[in-house]
Amino acid sequence: MQQTNGEILMKIFNSTVVVFLMAFSSIVLSLEAGDMAPDFSLQGTDGKTYSLEQFKGKQAIVVAWYPKAFTSGCTIECKSLAENGHLLKAFDMSYFMASVDPLEKNVAFAESTKADFPLLSDPTKATAKAYDVLALYGLPKRHTIYISKQGKILKVDRSINAATSAQDIAKNLQELGIPLAESTPSEKS
């Protein structure tokens, strides 16, 4: 059965509308500064489970999403945070990297990069979807999300330089007004 030119044009038009609506809905639904952060509960490479709720009223948090453990850019970013963690620990906040990799893979990745902070695993991809970082190909986009201690999104950084990730996060924390951490008595001596 042959289609007429009108039927073909209508199919092209409908396909174009669907693609446009998908792109537009992604823009409309993306998290932005001022939005409440979706709750999460994810296992960390340190054996603990972390949730947004446990930080509310206590500390700001930073979640640096990365596409895939053991890939070049992700390794560079993780090493940046591990080697320059002192820049981040100066602030009163907790920070994590997160991916949709299984926990076992993230544990091995954390060990290989000497990460001294938890990497979170979201194998169901539910949190990645809620935070609008899941790309169409099923892996998270490299985005860093800053969340206030009240649970609001302060910033979504979509322009990540893996090599300077720690320095960039520290700069953003300062610009966002995140207070410095109080030093402990052992740090003062």
Give the active site residues: 74
User: H helices within the chain, ranges in order?
Assistant: 5-29, 72-83, 85-89, 103-113, 126-130, 165-175, 185-188
Tokens of 187: 């740090």
| Whether 178 contacts 60, CB under 8 Å | yes
Three-state SS at 153: strand
| Whether 40 contacts 51, CB under 8 Å | yes
CA distance 42 to 46: 11
Residue given tokens 């792109």 in the structure block: 23
The DSSP call for residue 132 is T
